[in-house]
Chain A
Amino acid sequence: MAMGKTLAEKIWQEHVVRSAQGEPDLIYIDLHLIHEVTSPQAFDGLRLAGRPVHRPDLTIATEDHNTPTLNIDQPIADPVSKLQVDTLRKNCAEFGVRLHSLGDIDQGIVHVVGPQLGLTQPGMTIVCGDSHTSTHGAFGALAFGIGTSEVEHVLATQTLPLVRPKTMAINVEGTLKPGVSSKDIILAIIAKIGTGGGQGYVLEYRGSAIRALSMESRMTVCNMSIEAGARAGLIAPDEKTFEYIKGKPHAPKNWDEAVAYWSTLFTDKDATFDAEININAEELAPFVTWGTNPGQGAPLNSNVPDPSAIADPEARGAAERALVYMDLKAGTPLKNIVIDTVFLGSCTNGRIEDLRVAADVLKGKKISKSLRMLVVPGSARVRLQAESEGLDKVFIDAGAEWRQAGCSMCLGMNPDQLAVGERSASTSNRNFEGRQGKGGRTHLVSPLVAAATAIRGTLSSPADL
């Protein structure tokens, strides 16, 4: 009898162009997303070899990493950033790739733009020269980040030679407590399996707690799969997925046929995973990071851990180094940590629902005078939607800065950066040394924790207000 297949195996099998013993499979790519940072050298490679873009109609570009979030009607002030953005514009024009430039209504972070256009659909293979491409896995698409050589490869051939990954089930069962969000689920998962725990796997998030999440919350979970070392994270599509896509600009015209196919995209009951992890949703609490990798996190109600209590010498050394960089003392309650900047945004938490939950906490309140808060919508359309709901007014009245769309302070390629020694509570995805600006210190948090922290000035959850 044939063995059942996992969702990842089903999608993989549907995209094998060519397979041969002892070689990687050649996998067809349904959608290629492009941005200005990881594409210039790939287009150069095409030009040198005299190759065209094989399928410009399966390729789309947006400007996000370098773009300023203020004064976007003026030329980009940083000449090096400007050159990179101009290069993307020139390349897209030359090779016939659709581009949403700064100022365009469909501009925004590449991983926010794909889903909002309805280009992200179940059962697809999606790649981008950006590790957070895993975000699109929330729709039951096999989506992963690639390097610039692979960007060039996809541009030239619409395929990639890939070794089939292993599969890991992450079962999250039970009901989340109030104040606990999808960001806390994924931070807890990364703390449990470590930054290398998912290496070589596609993670499939399953269980009642995952099913209960909205599409946008599911995107937050899949987005950070890479922070556990997994190139891709997946969630089987369901009615919520179909509902989210319905009516989007690129939703299938032959809708019934598409839904019939999408409805076959789940892991068979008799399929086996290469590994399985179980998480009890009832035990989860608001989670924050204290260290310099996303696996160094703990419940907000706990203390900065004591490295000397860590048995593994490698992990102990990393924790000791992290506490020096973060300027934290073991045993300090996490809630006593004073924050200078709150950043609400990024491909992890820059969608409309994220802005809504944060605005709900901030409504009628003021942020602490001791900090600044940046609110950066994930896309121009998210910004407009928020403004139509009056969320911009809530943020501005609370004392926060309401900015234009882009990656912004998640990685500080534009002017939005932390200063040396400055400490942030950030809804983004990476707390690496210097990630948000040289010498900056990052605590990763959910939008709820970000908003409560902005009001109190120290790491907090809405329950503390």
Chain B
Amino acid sequence: MEKFVTHVGTALPLRRSNVDTDQIIPAVYLKRVTRSGFEDGLFAAWRKDPEFILNKEVFKSASILVAGVDFGTGSSREHAVWALQNYGFKVIISSRFADIFRGNSAKGGLLTIIVPQKDVETLWSAIEANPALPITVNLDARTVSFGSTTIAFEIDDYTRWRLMEGLDDIGLTLKSLDSIDKFEKSRPSFKPTTKTLNH
């Protein structure tokens, strides 16, 4: 996973709430067995509409997505994170994310930032006034800034550390193999296993 410390880019103001993962990437695109190439499925249904904001030339190279409340609801498909990343997004800002989407993002190094809805509105207005506005996201300082405005955001220390170091979760957990072994020895014998039965 790439380390994330700061990012400077332009942003896409997506004035929609409840953007579910079926909209981020429809199921028909989930049949692939690879982790790349999902950018063609990103917002596939909406992108058929030439008026959809991502189709506007000024927003095509945006790397920060600013969306309405409840972004990433629905299906657990991590393909939604891959589609956003494969397209070129590095940061998603919203006032609330669905839990599974937010967890998936953190695993893959896509930074999700929660700010109050009034700050989302501020960002939308600023971006709409100037689509080329450079926005700086500083994970170290936990700030989003543009022009003379700085918005602070909260993120737990552990996730921030992992993203800034670009650490692989599995590698971290495997350091606890002794604890896992010890736990397994104490599991009750009535817990089921999936071993095939002769029935």
Q: Give A contacts to B, CB under 8 Å.
A: 17-18, 22-24, 26, 28, 30-31, 37-38, 40-41, 44-45, 49, 51, 54, 56-60, 65-66, 78, 80-81, 83-84, 87, 98, 118-119, 121, 124, 129-131, 144-150, 152-153, 156-159, 161, 163, 195-196, 199-200, 226-227, 229-231, 249-250, 252-255, 257-258, 261, 293, 314-315, 317-318, 321, 411-413, 430, 432-435, 438
Q: With a CB–CB cut-off of 8 A, which chain A residues contact B118?
A: none
The answer to whether A314 and B69 touch (CB under 8 A), given A58-B193, A432-B20, A438-B45, is: yes
Q: How far is the CA of A195 from the CA of B189 in the complex (A)?
A: 39
Q: Which among B28, B158, B172 is the interface contact of A22 at CB below 8 angstroms?
A: B158
The answer to whether A413 and B30 touch (CB under 8 A), given A31-B194, A124-B191, A435-B22, is: yes
B107's nearest neighbour on chain A, judged by CB, is: A149
- List 26 contacting pairs A-B, 8 Å CB cutoff, sorted by A: A18-B179, A37-B30, A38-B76, A80-B32, A84-B31, A84-B33, A98-B195, A119-B192, A121-B192, A130-B75, A146-B100, A147-B100, A147-B103, A150-B107, A156-B170, A157-B180, A195-B70, A196-B73, A199-B96, A229-B73, A231-B100, A250-B194, A250-B197, A253-B190, A433-B45, A434-B22
CB distance from B81 to the nearest CB of A (A): 7
In order of increasing CB-CB distance, the 3 nearest A-B pairs are A147-B104, A149-B107, A147-B78
Q: How far is the CA of A30 from the CA of B30 in the complex (A)?
A: 27
Q: With a CB–CB cut-off of 8 A, which chain A residues contact B141?
A: none
Seed contacts A131-B75, A318-B18; 16 additional CB < 8 Å A-B pairs? A18-B176, A26-B179, A31-B194, A41-B34, A65-B30, A147-B100, A161-B172, A199-B98, A229-B99, A254-B190, A255-B190, A314-B69, A432-B20, A432-B23, A434-B22, A434-B23
Say if the beta carbon of B86 comes within 8 Å of chain A.
Answer: no
Interface positions, chain B 9-43, Cβ under 8 Å from A, are 15-18, 20, 22-23, 26-28, 30-35
Q: How far is the CA of A438 from the CA of B49 in the complex (A)?
A: 13
Interface pair B96/A24, CB less than 8 Å apart: no
A98's nearest neighbour on chain B, judged by CB, is: B194
Interface pair A434/B75, CB less than 8 Å apart: no
Interface pair B199/A413, CB less than 8 Å apart: no
Say if the beta carbon of B74 comes within 8 Å of chain A.
Answer: yes
Say if the beta carbon of B51 comes within 8 Å of chain A.
Answer: no
Q: How far is the CA of A195 from the CA of B96 in the complex (A)?
A: 11
Interface pair B183/A98, CB less than 8 Å apart: no
Q: How far is the CA of A153 from the CA of B96 in the complex (A)?
A: 26
Interface pair B158/A24, CB less than 8 Å apart: yes
Interface pair A434/B26, CB less than 8 Å apart: yes
Interface pair B35/A146, CB less than 8 Å apart: no
Q: How far is the CA of A433 from the CA of B77 in the complex (A)?
A: 16
Q: With a CB–CB cut-off of 8 A, which chain A residues contact B17?
A: 314-315, 317-318
Say if the beta carbon of B148 comes within 8 Å of chain A.
Answer: no
The answer to whether A119 and B194 touch (CB under 8 A), given A147-B104, A317-B17, A433-B45, is: yes
Q: With a CB–CB cut-off of 8 A, which chain A residues contact B20?
A: 293, 430, 432
- Count residues of B near A (Cβ-Cβ below 8 Å): 64
CB distance from A20 to the nearest CB of B (A): 10
Say if the beta carbon of B108 comes within 8 Å of chain A.
Answer: yes
CB distance from A342 to the nearest CB of B (A): 20
Say if the beta carbon of B50 comes within 8 Å of chain A.
Answer: no
Interface pair A131/B33, CB less than 8 Å apart: no
CB distance from B171 to the nearest CB of A (A): 9
Q: With a CB–CB cut-off of 8 A, which chain B residues contact A37?
A: 30-31, 77
Q: How far is the CA of A231 from the CA of B75 in the complex (A)?
A: 11
Q: How far is the CA of A87 from the CA of B107 in the complex (A)?
A: 23
Interface pair B157/A150, CB less than 8 Å apart: no
Q: How far is the CA of A121 from the CA of B192 in the complex (A)?
A: 8
Q: Which among B68, B77, B117 is the interface contact of A38 at CB below 8 angstroms?
A: B77
Q: With a CB–CB cut-off of 8 A, which chain B residues contact A22?
A: 157-158
Q: With a CB–CB cut-off of 8 A, which chain A residues contact B149?
A: none
Say if the beta carbon of B174 comes within 8 Å of chain A.
Answer: yes
Q: How far is the CA of A144 from the CA of B103 in the complex (A)?
A: 13
Q: With a CB–CB cut-off of 8 A, which chain B residues contact A26?
A: 173, 176, 179-180
Interface pair B183/A432, CB less than 8 Å apart: no
Q: Which among B108, B158, B192 is the interface contact of A31 at CB below 8 angstroms?
A: B192
Interface pair B192/A430, CB less than 8 Å apart: no
Q: How far is the CA of A57 from the CA of B118 in the complex (A)?
A: 50
Q: How far is the CA of A37 from the CA of B80 in the complex (A)?
A: 13
Q: Which among B26, B98, B170, B197 is the interface contact of A49 at CB below 8 angstroms?
A: B170
Q: Which among B31, B70, B107, B176 is the interface contact of A147 at CB below 8 angstroms?
A: B107
Q: With a CB–CB cut-off of 8 A, which chain B residues contact A157?
A: 170, 173-174, 177, 180
The answer to whether A153 and B169 touch (CB under 8 A), given A44-B35, A131-B76, A249-B199, is: yes
Q: With a CB–CB cut-off of 8 A, which chain B residues contact A412?
A: 27-28
The answer to whether A158 and B103 touch (CB under 8 A), given A152-B170, A196-B73, A293-B73, is: no
Interface pair A196/B22, CB less than 8 Å apart: no
CB distance from B49 to the nearest CB of A (A): 12
Interface pair A314/B68, CB less than 8 Å apart: yes
Q: How far is the CA of A427 from the CA of B79 in the complex (A)?
A: 25
CB distance from A419 to the nearest CB of B (A): 14
Interface pair B197/A249, CB less than 8 Å apart: yes
Q: With a CB–CB cut-off of 8 A, which chain B residues contact A41?
A: 33-35, 78
Q: Which among A66, A147, A253, A293 is the interface contact of B76 at CB below 8 angstroms?
A: A147
Interface pair A432/B22, CB less than 8 Å apart: yes
Q: With a CB–CB cut-off of 8 A, which chain B residues contact A121?
A: 191-192
Q: With a CB–CB cut-off of 8 A, which chain B residues contact A119?
A: 192, 194
